[in-house]
Amino acid sequence: MSARSQVPFSAPERVILGIETSCDETAAAVLVEGQLRAHVVSSQLDHRAYGGVVPELASRAHERRIVPVVQNALEQAGLAPVDLTAIAVTYGPGLIGSLMVGVNFAKGMASALGIPLVGVHHLEGHIYAIFLEPDPPPFPFLCLTVSGGHTVLVRVEAPLRHRVLGQTRDDAAGEAFDKVAKLLGLEYPGGPALERLAARGDRGFVPLPRPRLGGSLDYSFSGLKTSVLYYLKRLPEEERMRLLEAHRADIAASFQEAVIAALLDPLLRAAEQTGDRHIVLSGGVAANQALRRRLEAVCAERGWSLHVPRPSFCTDNAAMIAMAGYFRLRAGHRSPLSLAPQATVSL
Ligand code: KG4
Ligand code: ZN
Q: With 90 as the cut, is the pLDDT of residue 9 above it?
A: no
Top mean-pLDDT range of 48-57, 184-193, 229-238: 229-238
pLDDT at 210: 84
Domain annotation covers residue 5: no
Query: Would residue 343 count as lying in a domain?
Result: no
Do 188 and 255 belong to one domain? yes
Q: Could you tell me the distance, in angstroms and rounded to a whole number, from the CA of residue 117 to the centre of ligand 2?
A: 21
The closest ligand to the CA of 181 turns out to be 1
DSSP string, 259-308: HHHHHHHHHHHHHHHH---EEEEESGGGG-HHHHHHHHHHHHHHT-EEE-
Q: Residue 266 pLDDT more than 50?
A: yes
Over residues 268-293, the pLDDT tens digits come to 999 999 999 999 999 999 999 999 99
Does 111 lie in the same domain as 207?
Answer: no
Task: Count H helices and E strands in the chain, helices first.
Answer: 10, 10
- Domain membership flag for residue 300: yes
In a domain? residue 146: yes
Give the Cα-Cα-Cα angle 213, 218, 224 (nearest 5 degrees): 65
In this structure, the answer to whether residues 186 and 296 fall within a common structural domain is yes
Whether 148 and 80 share a structural domain: no
What local confidence, expressed as pLDDT, does residue 1 receive?
44
Q: Are residues 153 and 93 in the same domain?
A: no
In a domain, 346, yes or no: no
Question: In this structure, is residue 341 part of a structural domain?
Answer: no
Per-residue pLDDT tens over the stretch 17-42: 999 999 989 999 999 999 999 999 99
| Ligand 1, atom nearest to 314 Cα | 1
pLDDT tens, position by position, 162-173? 999 999 999 999
Residues 49 and 104 in one domain: yes
- The ligand whose atoms approach the alpha carbon of 285 most closely is 1
Could you give the number of structural domains in the chain?
2
Task: Output the pLDDT for position 212.
Answer: 77
Question: Which of 121, 147, 171, 314, when mutated, tests ligand 1's pocket best, judged by the most ligand atoms within 8 Å of its CB?
Answer: 147
Round the average pLDDT of the chain to a whole number and report it.
94
Q: Are residues 148 and 121 in the same domain?
A: no
pTM for the predicted model, two decimal places: 0.93
**Residue 47 belongs to a domain with what CATH number?**
3.30.420.40
Q: Would you say residue 154 lies in a domain?
A: yes
- Residue 60 structural domain: 15-128+314-330
Q: Are 292 and 193 within one domain?
A: yes
Sorting pLDDT into bands at 50, 70 and 90, what band is 297?
A: very high
Residue 236 and residue 96 share a domain: no
Calculate the CA dihedral of residues 53, 55, 59, 64 and round it to 10 degrees.
Answer: -40
pLDDT for 12: 92
**For residue 269, how many other CB atoms are within 10 A of its CB?**
16
Residue 2 scores a pLDDT above 60: no
DSSP code for 205: S
Do 323 and 261 fall into the same domain?
Answer: no
Same domain, 212 and 106: no
Q: What pLDDT shows up at residue 44?
A: 77
pLDDT greater than 90 at residue 214: no
Protein residue with least CA distance to atom 22, ligand 1: 191
183 plus 238 within the same structural domain: yes
> Pocket around ligand 1: residues whose beta carbon is below 6 Å from it?
23, 147-149, 174-175, 177-178, 189-192, 195, 283-285, 287-288, 315-316
Minimum-distance ligand 1 atom for the alpha carbon of 189:
14
Residue 344 in any domain: the answer is no
Does 336 score more than 60 pLDDT?
Answer: yes
Q: How far is the CA of 282 from the centre of ligand 2 (A)?
A: 9
